[in-house]
Chain A
Amino acid sequence: MSGWKTTAASLGATVTSLLTLGCCLPLPFLGAAGLAGASVFLSAARPWLLGLSVIFLGAGFFQVYRGMKCRARQSRIALILLGLAAVLVVFMLFFPQVLAGLLADISSQQKVPAGQPSLSSLTSENFDQLRAAFNKASGDVRVVLLLSPT
């Protein structure tokens, strides 16, 4: 009886934690699912969704704990799902960009957004490429952003 409750809690935690990725995935990914525009909502709802994931996870573990206390037989599938959900939620809490990036790479063949030159990997040999691009844009206001990917 508690097996399906644990599974439901695990699935709830999985779905809500995956929904938090909506903010960070490229729109075509969501658009394909007919959810374009949802990313704005999902971005705002991210803390609530993560909270909900943790609650679902807590409910799942509580079911397992209660089952162990009653010496009830635990469903192996339910336990596996709960474990996977726990890993996913922890990942979503601490490394959301890494997971979003991996999923985006799977869903998108193109690295940079349309209209931009391809991503250049700078080395001491080709560093002049950046200097040349900077000087070529002379006449425009140039903004340089120094960023970390995660």
Chain B
Amino acid sequence: MLEQNPNPHIRVFAVWEPILLTDYSSPSAGVLARLSDPRVEQYWDKNHLFAEQLARRLKSDPDHPRPRCCDESGIDWDEVAVYRQDVYWDDQLPRAVFLDGPVVHVLGFANTVTELLSKPTNSKQRLENSQSISGSSILFAPLKQARDTNDLPPSKSTNTTS
């Protein structure tokens, strides 16, 4: 997906977690090298903290996309979640626009990413405007607003990312 889409406005967070018997240690250099793009950040989540956050969100949000796979003793894994540009993670993980697995079978998430990139959100536009107007208090206001409205569909405003 990253090879086919050189857009710098994509950020990938690879969260490795121990699921299988052979996952006795953090991922080796060989495993990490499989995600070699500089837009990737890699994490070793031994205690499934991210999966817990995701499970909490899924529990509290019946309209959240549901993955068709994969759950190991209540822990989500081998899944991909895609988040819009304007959502903010505060107390709770924001709603994903795409959540499914196993990763190798849901490469269609790349289409979701492309769609989102072609429809930048209002908050991004407002963020850019606010940067040219004033200081940090106004700078972060659009993020808060985006957080408050993160369940709304993405805006179809002017394209600023492509």
Residues of A that sit less than 8 Å from B by CB: 24-27, 95, 97-98, 100-105, 108, 110-117, 119-124, 127, 130-131, 133-135, 137-150
Contact = CB atoms under 8 A, between A and B. Distances in A.
A35 to B, nearest CB: 16
A14 to B, nearest CB: 19
A114 B26 CA distance: 18
Nearest to A127: B49
B103 interface: yes
Interface magnitude class on chain B: 35 or more
B11 A100 contact: no
Nearest to A141: B116
A146 B15 contact: yes
Cβ-closest 8 pairs across A and B? A104-B30, A101-B28, A115-B38, A137-B11, A149-B27, A113-B36, A150-B22, A26-B33
Given A105-B29, A148-B16, A141 B117 contact: yes
Contacts, number: 195
A25 B34 CA distance: 9
Nearest to A27: B33
Contact of A26 (B30, B49, B77): B30
B16 A147 contact: yes
Contacts of B33: 26-27, 104, 108, 113
Contacts of B46: 121-123
Contact of B30 (A105, A124, A127, A144): A105
A98 B28 CA distance: 8
B27 A144 contact: no
Contact of A144 (B78, B80, B127, B146): B80
A33 to B, nearest CB: 16
Given A122-B47, A124-B49, A141-B9, A149 B83 contact: no
